[in-house]
């Protein structure tokens, strides 16, 4: 199974970058430059990844295509298209973004985010991005979120049907959808549902964890894999069982290198217990 995360080591060349990824224990990587980089630089990283047998898991957009300001929305659209074109050029598993929010915060909650209006606008913007970039070797995906679509496996399936583009696929971030104690305490069942319903569409998966605090009212916090409620045995087994063996489980959202080291150690230990080789 492919596995990766953030690289903390400094590098002066694509070859050093690839070596640092391998030394961190990774077989999957985030692409380190965006669509504005020189073609020669991009090609150098692609060659280094291939030579080191590293899968380019995903290229992120991370902006708001439901931005209410027209100028900012246009700029966000341009970046989404550029990043998707880059993902296609380098042969990444996917290009990933969030669906968007009507909030003043680019990824924040808003009462209109989970409405038919939002669903329809997400469909339209997703179609526009894919139709503008016309990818042949990669897929555009939306990271699930607790307060915007897709927030459930069924809403993701509904989006896939409505977008109706072969280049639209699925991204899994289990922690983002464990948005209540009822879901967090039954993470294995949630994982099973997502992979049973979306398995053929899944192009990349994020690895983090979640814990339930004792403060009222409900308070859920991200944490390092192995220190929360996610059933990583179930998660690793499901990713490993996907037909596409290049789908990566990618660590994210930690700020300290030591946390990535400990998370890598934990996930590799879980994988070994499950008979999965990372």
Return the CATH number at 177.
3.20.20.150
Task: Give the pLDDT mean for 108-112.
Answer: 98
Domain count, the chain: 1
Give the chain's radius of gyration (CA, Å).
Answer: 18
What is residue 152's predicted lDDT score, i.e. its pLDDT? Answer: 98
- pLDDT by residue (tens digit) across 143-172? 999 999 999 999 999 999 999 999 999 999
Q: What is the 3-state secondary structure (H, E, C) of 81-119?
A: HHHHHHHHHHCCCEEEECCCCCCCCCCCCCCCCCCHHHH
Does 101 fall in a domain? yes
Percent of the chain with pLDDT over 90: 100
Does 278 fall in a domain? no
Does 34 fall in a domain? yes
For residue 202, name the pLDDT band (cuts at 50, 70, 90).
very high
- pLDDT by residue (tens digit) across 116-141? 999 999 999 999 999 999 999 999 99
Secondary structure class of 276 (helix, strand, coil):
coil
Does 257 fall in a domain? yes
Percent of the chain with pLDDT over 70: 100
Which residue is listed with tokens 């996917």? 94
**Mean pLDDT over the full length of the chain:** 98
Query: Is the distance from CB of 48 to CB of 17 less than 8 angstroms?
Result: yes
Does 9 fall in a domain? yes
The boundaries of the domain holding residue 130 are 2-273
Does 267 fall in a domain? yes
What is residue 112's predicted lDDT score, i.e. its pLDDT? Answer: 98
How far, in Å, CA of 79 to CA of 65, rounded? 10
């Amino acid at each position: 199974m492919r596995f990766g995360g953030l690289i903390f080591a400094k590098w002066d060349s694509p070859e050093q970058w690839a070596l640092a990824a391998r030394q961190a224990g990774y077989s999957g990587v985030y692409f380190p430059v965006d669509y504005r980089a020189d073609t020669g630089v991009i090609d150098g990283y692609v060659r280094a990844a291939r030579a080191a047998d590293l899968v380019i898991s995903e290229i992120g957009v991370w902006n708001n295509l439901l931005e209410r300001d027209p100028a900012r929305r246009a700029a966000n659209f341009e970046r989404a298209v550029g990043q998707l074109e880059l993902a296609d050029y380098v042969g990444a598993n996917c290009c990933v973004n969030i669906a968007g929010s009507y909030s003043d915060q680019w990824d924040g909650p808003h009462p209109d985010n989970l409405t038919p209006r939002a669903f329809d606008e997400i469909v339209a913007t997703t179609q526009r991005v894919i139709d503008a970039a016309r990818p042949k070797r990669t897929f555009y995906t939306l990271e699930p979120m607790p307060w915007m679509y897709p927030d459930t496996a069924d809403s993701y399936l509904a989006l896939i049907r409505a977008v109706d583009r072969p280049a639209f696929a699925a991204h899994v971030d289990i922690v983002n959808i464990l948005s209540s104690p009822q879901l967090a305490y039954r993470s294995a069942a949630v994982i099973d549902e997502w992979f049973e319903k979306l398995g053929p569409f899944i192009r990349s998966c994020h690895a983090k964890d979640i814990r339930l605090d004792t403060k009222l009212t409900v308070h859920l916090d991200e944490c390092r894999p192995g220190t929360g409620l996610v059933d990583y045995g179930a998660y690793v087994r499901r990713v490993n069982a996907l037909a596409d063996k290049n789908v990566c489980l990618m660590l994210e959202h930690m700020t300290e290198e030591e946390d990535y080291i400990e998370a890598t150690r934990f996930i590799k230990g879980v994988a070994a217990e499950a008979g999965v080789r990372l």
